[in-house]
Amino acid sequence: MRLELGHVLIKDVQFGNETKIENGVLTVNKEELISLIKEDEHLTSVDVDIAKPGESVRITPVKDVVEPRVKVEGPGGVFPGILSKVDVVGSGKTNVLKGCVVMTTGKIVGFQEGIVDMTGPGADFTPFSKTINLVLKCEPVEGLKQHDHERAVRFAGFKAAAYLAETAKSLTPDTVEVYEVDTFLKGIEKYPNLPKVGYVQMLQTQGLLHDTYVYGVDAKQIVPTIMYPTEIMDGAIVSGNCVSACDKNTTYHQMNNPVIHDLLAQHGKTLNFVGVIITNENVYLADKERSSNWTAKLAEYLGLDGVIVSQEGFGNPDTDLIMNTKKIEAKGIDTVIITDEYAGRDGASQSLADADPSANAVVTGGNANEIIVLPKMDKVIGTLDYVDIIAGGFDGSLAADGTITVEIQAITGATNEVGFNKMSARGF
C-alpha cells in the first residue's frame, strides 16, 4: 500500500466572497459554509469563527478536531463509510491543508469535553494552539436526543473539512511525503534481518457517547482486525466520543497518529513495520476477553517480535490495556505500552486502575490530574457554561475574574501527543 500525502501549507485563514487558496491563504465564504452545515435538519443554528495562534482566545467546549484532506488519486475518498463510499482507502494521492483545522463546539453533549487556549500556559499543553482553527458553533434543535446531537455535530465537522479540502484538490502541494508498507510476505522477504513490529491501537468504544467509527461502523461491533497504516491517514477511523478531553483521540489525532508516523519513518531501516491491529475497549468482561484474545492471536499469527500498544481513555480501559499486554507478552512478544496516568493531584495515587509485572515498558503521557490555572482570555468561542462540569473541572473552576482552575485532563489533546521515541526501552 503506497500513499502520497501532499501538504498544502496554510499560512492564514480569512473570510471572503469565495472559498479558495491563494499564496498559502485560505479564504472561506462564511455564508456558503454555514448553508452547507445547516442542511442538517437537526441543527437550529450554526456560526463560524476563526482562532489563530497567539490570540487571546479560548475555545470551549471542544468536541472534535478535523484536518481537511481530499482524495486526489486512487480508490475511495476521505472519510469512507461516512462521507465517501465504503471503499478501501490508503493508497494513491491525498492532499492535506496543513496548518489549519476544523474544530466543533456548541451546547455540550456529555460532560467530558475540553478547552483550547490559543495563548498562555494552557496553550503549551495542546497542539491546537499552534494551528489556525476554523471553529463551528452548532446548536441542536430543541429536544434532540444526545446521540443524534453528537452525530449532527460530528458530521458538521467532517462536511466542513471536506468543503475546505476541495479547494486543494487541483493544487500542487508545497511538499509531498510518501508512505509505503508491503504485504506481509513481501515485507518478510524484503527485510529478513529486521525485527517485525506491529502497533496495537486500542479504540474508545465504551458506549454512552464514548464511540469510535471504522469505515463508518461503530467499533463496538467489530472484532480485532488488521489495517494498513495508510488507511488511517485517509480518515478510515474517526472520533465520535466525548471521553475526557486529554484522553480523546480526535479525528485529527487519528489522521496524524504519531505512533504510525514514527514507525513508518523507521520502516525498512531499524524495523519492519508489519501493520496495525485495531481493537476495542468494551465494557463487559466477556467482550474484553474476546478482544484481547484475538489481539494476541493476531500478533502471534503475524510472527511479531515487538508490539506497541496505545490506549484511549482511562479507568475501565486500563483493564483492556493490561489484558492485551499480558496476553501478547505470554506469546513471547515484547510490548511497550503508551498511556497517560491518573495519579491524583499530588501524584501519589495508583496511576492506572490495573497493573501487571509484564507491563514493564511504559511510555507515559503524564499525570492528567495535575492542576493548571488558565488566565482570562479576551474572547471566548463557544461558551463557558460548562467549565465547572467538564471532566477535570469542579464547582468553582471558573472564577469571577475569568480565570479557570482545572486539571490538565480538561485541555483537548493535552497528553495524547506521544510517539514511540522510547521504544528502545525494550531494545526492538
d(CA 424, CA 35): 51
**Catalytic status, residue 100:** no
Cell triple for 385: 457554561
Active-site hit among 100, 138, 242, 246: 242
Cell triple for 140: 441542536
CA proximity to 277, closest of 369, 348, 163, 197: 197
Cell triple for 138: 452548532
Q: Contact, 45 vs 273, CB < 8 A?
A: no
State phi, psi for 357 to the nearest 5 degrees.
-60, -25
Give the burial class of 297: count Cβ atoms within 10 A of its Cβ; 0-12 exposed, 13-18 middle, 19 or more buried: middle
Dihedral sign from CA coordinates of 326, 257, 158, 80: negative
Helix, strand and coil percent figures for the chain, each rounded to 5: 25, 35, 40
d(CA 19, CA 60): 26
Give the burial class of 345: count Cβ atoms within 10 A of its Cβ; 0-12 exposed, 13-18 middle, 19 or more buried: exposed
CA proximity to 128, closest of 413, 410, 336, 347: 413
Q: Contact, 52 vs 101, CB < 8 A?
A: no
CA proximity to 151, closest of 205, 109, 203: 109
d(CA 189, CA 166): 40
Dihedral sign from CA coordinates of 62, 411, 5, 312: negative
Show which residues are catalytic: 242
